Amino acid sequence: MTQKVAARRAFVIAVALFLVLSTVAARLYYLQVRRAAHYQSLAQQDYLRQIPVIAPRGNIVTSDGTVLANSVPGWELEYLDPTVNGAMPKKELDALASLLGTTPAQLDTVISTALHRQYSYQPVVLDPNHSLTPKQITTYEEERTRFPNLHLFPVPVRQYPQGATFGNFVGFLSESPHSAAETAQAKANPNTLFGADGLEMSYQKYLAGKQGSQFVEVDQAGNIVRLYGQKAATAGNTLHLTINWNLEVTATRALAYVMHAMQTSPLRYGGSPYSPTANVGAVIVTDPQNGDILAIASLPSYNPQLITYPASQAAYSQALNAHEFYNSAIMGNFAPGSIFKPIIAGGALASGTVTPSTVVNDPGYFTLDPQFKNWYAPGFGPQTMTQAIEHSDDVYFYWVGYWMGIQKMDKYIKLYGLDTTTGIDVPGEVPSVMPTPALLQQTQHVPWTWGYNLETVIGQGLSGYTLIGLARAEAAVANGGTLYWPHLGSYVTAPSGKVVQVIQPKAQSKTGFAPWIYDVIHQGMEMSAQDPTGTGYGAMAGIPMYVATKTGTAQKATGTVNDAFFTTFAPANPATYSGSWPKPKLDIVVWIHNGVFGAYSGFVARAIYDQYFHLADPGAKTLFDQVYGANYAWPFAWTGHPLYQPPASSGS
């Protein structure tokens, strides 16, 4: 009996052992055979890392293909940290500093800063936007044993071939993200650079390419063991602009040239063009039929190449101290003086405050308060609206402001969008400031009286309009009342050349004024340019085409020099012609700080007309010499080909 029990127990144990062993074998088979690939992948994830590779940014080009920004192939050194603390050995650090022309302390700062921003297995790119020179590459290759922890690899290097020309509209790059998506990208790859200003910033999503990957093996401490290879990055798209290169350079250099003439004029009488402090200015050239910006310049301007990361603090500080980051075309608020008169004239006529035949007598002052004087002391006598625009007659417009009142004026100022921003496609635009009783109470703590109406109607007092806002408004005067969105972007193409985005012109609003109202305003502006008594004639006399102009001489604090404003459009009608008017192709607004008198700045516009309309313009030099009192050159006349050819581009 005992033997039978023992045998039964042995059988049960044997069966149980068999079942256990079978279960273990089955599990081992499942794990090692059926799920081998899965667990092998998991094991690889423990030591494989994917490091992002920076993509080349897309180009920024003008309407004629001139390259303003591009990425070219370069070579850079990256530091592969073999230790946990990240410090580069002193001997290698000294040799690297000698190779790169810097100091060990500066390099150590770059490395330690980068290591705090990124994962331990990510290599430190020592200078992400400056390629090694051929001499540096040769030295590195010949002395590789001195750099055991450095790796030479290709990088895209951002270039700005045109330097400071258009620089503060192109923008520059920095390591600082400006959105949640960019912040995430910066965390994944701390060496990524982002648009920090201008078009580089506003069109970041198109210009930034798709990052590639570099695959590396790391040990348990997170240190790189070896490199496996990489997946190529995809280049960014190309941004095509509305900018005409020849006009852009003409506008920039003409602005600088006219300011130079103001600074050096030998004339010293009261009201002469001599102004040694005329060193800041801006010019905006638009197509009034669609809002395309054909040229835009603000001086001084920075050179993006000098301040793109990792720029030296000295270079950045120099640009900051020179006010090169201040873009007058979009960031400044100005009392524009009399170039505001064509804008308010539309409201005066549309509201029935005056008619084309309304005559106002100008004795040289406003009879209800003689302290409000005309700029021309003797006065112009009886004036209609067209004559008042031609002569920039203050007294006529004083009466307009007095009769309209601030509420009615503000209604029509708003129709021209001069109480807000334009939405131009570069960052940094500030809103225009419209005079209101509330603003006066807020800023000066006094009630509004009718005297402020007289200041408002001639573009003085509390007026604080931006130049881009004025350019949009003046273009609406030129085209008959449509406010178009001012823009620099035209379309975007992929690296293959395929168009991926068309940036459509947009009509933002309309004034709704009847065509006859603009006929009256245009005739006054045409007389300003074409009649010897017109205020614009001093800059446009003898120009071989019909143009329309309005000058603005903006007074500031007592003892300061007036600012000079000038607005003009072309083609225009002869001043004596009363038929339909041609569609203007250009509208120009010029501003020069301390430019003394509006017409003095008008030569900037004349230079642009000469190049755009192919005008030989033999009378320009004679008139320029008469105004500025010296034997100056006039280098802007058309000579059969564009004055400024696009420089040869390096790379694509």
Q: What is the pLDDT of residue 67?
A: 96
Q: Is 248 exposed, middle or buried (0-12, 13-18, 19+ CB in 10 A)?
A: buried
Q: What angle (nearest 5°) sits at the alpha carbon of residue 339, between those of residues 335 and 340? A: 65
CB neighbour list of residue 105: distance below 8 Å, 6 or more residues apart: none
Tens of pLDDT, residue by residue over 554-607, are 999 888 999 999 999 999 988 777 667 779 999 999 999 999 999 999 999 999
Tens of pLDDT, residue by residue over 111-120, are 777 777 666 6
Q: What is the pLDDT of residue 43?
A: 44
Q: What is the pLDDT of residue 7?
A: 64
Q: What letter would DSSP give residue 481?
A: S
Distance (Å, whole) CA 392 – CA 591: 17
DSSP tally for the chain: helices H, then strands E: 23, 21
Distance (Å, whole) CA 284 – CA 616: 23
Say if residues 391 and 529 touch (Cβ distance below 8 Å): no
Domains and CATH numbers, the chain: 43-85+110-130+153-214+234-241 (3.90.1310.10), 245-490+504-628 (3.40.710.10)
Say if residues 140 and 153 touch (Cβ distance below 8 Å): no
Say if residues 540 and 602 touch (Cβ distance below 8 Å): yes
Q: What is the pLDDT of residue 314?
A: 79
Q: Nearest-CA neighbor of 603 among 115, 209, 258, 216? A: 258
Rounded alpha-carbon distances, angstroms, from residue 470 to 19, 139, 216, 409: 91, 56, 56, 16
Tens of pLDDT, residue by residue over 3-25, are 665 666 666 566 566 666 666 56
Low-confidence ranges of the chain (pLDDT < 50): 31, 38-39, 42-43, 84, 649-652
Q: What is the pLDDT of residue 49?
A: 67
Q: What is the pLDDT of residue 290?
A: 98
